[in-house]
Amino acid sequence: MTAFLAKNDRAPSRLGDRRRRTLAYLGLSLLMVAAVAVFGTLSVDEAGSTQLGARNLGPSWAHLFGTDRLGRDMLARVLSGLRLSLVVGVSAALVSGAIALLMACLAAVGGRLVDRAVSWLVDLFLALPHLVLLILLAFALGGGTRAVIIAVAVTHWPTLTRVLRGHARQVMSSDYVLVARSFGRGRWWIARRHVAPQLVGHFVVGTALLFPHAILHEAALSFLGLGVDPAEPSIGVLLAESMRFLSAGAWWLAVLPGLCLLIVVKLVDAIGENTRALLDPRSHHL
């Protein structure tokens, strides 16, 4: 009996330790992403300054990431490009998450016909080749930062909509929603007061998990020449420019920006996973 009680006492302690570790990982990831954004903002001017006497230099103490064909410091350009990727990623993820939340609420309160229409739209977008649709939308919108944000936002909502729709249907079958209906409350009142608040946690986690995909797709579109303005030092633009100099041995022009992009994506993904672990008590992370 004593051993059983001791085991049960240790379980909350282990749960608390895991929660504290998760909070520490989340805080560290947020701090590092914030540092990238701050240093990227401070490096905007330096990223565009040229030094023709220091062209195509390899990594050194003077230039940790080397320089490009115009003598521009690659570390400053990478930080500036990561800041731009974060801005595009946050904007696209928030817009996409808002679309998913709206679609889920419409499917839950709009009746069987609206639910079928939302389900059909989700299946349609998921059936289309994702990268091809991104390229077509970015091309049709004329390229640029706004076009990238719109293209990424329009193509990333279906999966989150499917998740939110399932939870919204559970909310609609709950007792308090049935009571609200019996008091004559309308569908949109129920959606605003009951359905949407219950989906906030899933919306936050889903939007955070959309963020890494948005960053990578922005880089892909910029690499193909359909993303942000080529004058902007985005990671995709840096990688595209580096292709012409790889054969000359300028490996730092591609490897270091690509590695930094991968690290930031993993940090953002860790933010989403740790947020899910904190908001979902049944998550295997806790």
Could you write out the DSSP letters of every residue in the chain? Answer: -HHHHHHHHHHHHHHHHHHHHHHHHHHHHHHHHHHHHHHHHHTHHHHH---GGGTTPPS-SSSTT-B-TT--BHHHHHHHHHHHHHHHHHHHHHHHHHHHHHHHHHHHHS-HHHHHHHHHHHHHHHHS-HHHHHHHHHHHTTSSHHHHHHHHHHHSHHHHHHHHHHHHHHHHTSHHHHHHHHTT--HHHHIIIIIHHHTHHHHHHHHHHHHHHHHHHHHHHHHTTSSS-TTS--HHHHHHHHTTTGGGT-THHHHHHHHHHHHHHHHHHHHHHHHHHHH-TTSTT-
Q: How confident is the model at residue 55 (pLDDT cuts 50, 70, 90)?
A: confident
Please give the average per-residue pLDDT across 25-30, as a whole number: 75
pLDDT of residue 14: 57
Neighbours of 256 (CB within 10 A): 19
pLDDT of residue 11: 47
pLDDT of residue 49: 78
pLDDT of residue 286: 42
Choice among 7-16, 59-68, 127-136, 225-234 with the minimum mean pLDDT: 7-16
Structure tokens at 44: 């905007």
Structure tokens at 239: 């990688």
Task: Dump pLDDT digits (tens) for 77-133.
Answer: 888 888 888 888 888 888 998 898 888 888 877 778 888 888 898 888 888 887 888
pLDDT of residue 12: 54
| Whether pLDDT at 63 is above 70 | yes
Cα torsion 97, 101, 106, 108: sign: positive
Task: Dump pLDDT digits (tens) for 167-195.
Answer: 888 877 777 777 777 777 777 777 777 77
| Whether pLDDT at 9 is above 70 | no
Q: Which of 215, 229, 200, 207 is nearest to 85 (CA)?
A: 215
228/220 Cα distance (integer angstroms)? 11
pLDDT of residue 281: 52
pLDDT of residue 225: 79
State the average pLDDT for the chain.
78
Domains of the chain, earliest start first: 20-43+68-279 (1.10.3720.10)
50/96 Cα distance (integer angstroms)? 38
| Whether pLDDT at 18 is above 70 | no
Neighbours of 58 (CB within 10 A): 13
pLDDT of residue 129: 82
pLDDT of residue 190: 74
Model-level pTM? Answer: 0.79
Dihedral angle computed from the Cα positions of residues 90, 95, 98 and 103, in that order, rounded to the nearest 10 degrees: -140
Task: Dump pLDDT digits (tens) for 131-170.
Answer: 888 888 888 888 788 888 888 888 888 888 888 888 888 8
